[in-house]
């Protein structure tokens, strides 16, 4: 079973919504009521559905995981099938399937690509730029390699930083996008305070609720887990740390 199939039902509660307000503020600058937001690898829609409701945007959401899409569809059903005043258009498939001419993209005002550039990779950008309408926008939300290294697990769980080689630093993202025909509109780094009961975090780690753990062999993971359990014994019952991310917006020239 794939990682996202395994965690789809608990994904939303696991990830939280710390950056919702910052996202809404940024998205509102590049859209108007009724604009189309196309969420690439949108998963359960935990970020894009509330944004579109709040700003009155039409949502199209693509993901390749049936299980993640099914959570998104249930969520939309709970809204009476309507988000931002319109039905949501779902696309099931790999990110590259949007280039097969069956998906209409010439009306999209803003593409969002959140917490997923490390899954699809930046090599996707030049092709995406080719289908973007002039003056439309691409918003990328991600954790940089440096931010991941500084995170609680990055600094406390053996190998969490060094194993996670899929993340990019901000400069790499900007340079790839600019070489592909996008102009940087804004780049922001955010840091949110988090308080988590240590038993909760330990349970999430034991259940491998972060895709980075899929990069360990079973022996490496068990060894790192043992070390982590020992470290936690000296910590207070609640762990306090910062959770960081970056939001970049580009404009199609
Ligand atoms: C970490 S989740 C992010 C979901 C959502 N954007 C969010 O921030 O909550 C990554 C998502 O990317 C999807 N995904 C990974 N590789 C993909 C690909 N090649 N094409 C389409 N979706 C992909 C997964 O199914 C998953 O739903």
Q: DSSP secondary structure string, 37-74?
A: EEEET-TT-TTHHHHHHHHT-EEEEEES-HHHHHHHHH
Domain boundaries, the chain: 3-145+167-194+245-252
b/e per residue, 99-110, with b = 16+ CB within 10 A?
eeeebebeebbb
- Whose CA is closest to atom 15 on ligand 1? 119
167 close to ligand 1 (CB < 6 Angstrom):
no
Phi, psi of 94 (to 5 degrees): -65, 155
DSSP bridge partners of 102: none
| CA 239/CA 177 separation, integer angstroms | 37
| pLDDT, tens only, 157-209 | 999 999 999 999 999 999 999 999 999 999 999 999 999 999 999 999 998 88
Instruction: State whether CATH 3.40.50.150 applies to domain 3-145+167-194+245-252.
Output: yes
Please give the model's pTM, rounded to 2 decimal places: 0.96
45, 99 in Cβ contact below 8 A? Answer: no
pLDDT band at 102 (very low <50, low <70, confident <90, very high): confident
133, 185 in Cβ contact below 8 A? Answer: no
What's the pLDDT at 69? Answer: 98
Is the model's pLDDT at 15 over the cut of 90? Answer: no
- Whose CA is closest to atom 12 on ligand 1? 41
CA 16–ligand 1 middle distance (angstroms): 16
64 close to ligand 1 (CB < 6 Angstrom):
yes
| pLDDT, tens only, 25-75 | 999 999 999 999 999 999 999 999 999 999 999 999 999 999 999 999 999
| CA 55/CA 31 separation, integer angstroms | 8
What's the pLDDT at 170? Answer: 98
What's the mean pLDDT in 6-31? Answer: 93
């Amino acid at each position: 079973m794939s990682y996202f199939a395994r965690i789809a039902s608990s994904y939303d509660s696991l990830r939280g919504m710390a950056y919702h307000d910052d996202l809404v503020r940024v998205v509102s600058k590049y859209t108007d009521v009724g604009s189309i937001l196309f969420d690439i690898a949108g998963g359960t829609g935990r970020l894009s559905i509330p944004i579109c409701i709040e700003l009155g945007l039409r949502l199209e959401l693509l993901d390749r995981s049936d299980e993640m899409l099914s959570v998104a569809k249930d969520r939309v059903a709970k809204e009476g099938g309507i988000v931002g005043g319109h039905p949501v258009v779902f696309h099931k498939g790999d990110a590259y399937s949007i280039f097969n001419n069956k998906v209409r993209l010439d009306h999209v005002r803003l593409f969002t690509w959140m917490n997923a550039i490390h899954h699809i990779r930046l090599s996707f950008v030049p092709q995406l730029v080719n289908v973007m309408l002039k003056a439309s926008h691409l918003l990328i939300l991600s954790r940089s390699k440096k931010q991941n290294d500084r995170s609680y697990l990055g600094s406390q769980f053996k190998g969490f930083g060094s194993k996670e080689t899929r993340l990019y630093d901000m400069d790499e993202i900007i340079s790839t996008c600019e070489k592909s025909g996008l102009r940087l509109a804004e780049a922001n780094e955010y840091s949110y305070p988090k308080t988590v009961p240590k038993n909760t975090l330990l349970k999430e780690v034991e259940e491998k609720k972060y895709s980075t753990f899929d990069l360990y062999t079973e022996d490496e993971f068990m060894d790192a887990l043992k070390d982590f359990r020992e470290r936690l014994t000296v910590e207070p019952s609640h762990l306090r740390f910062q959770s960081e991310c970056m939001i970049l917006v580009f404009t199609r020239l």
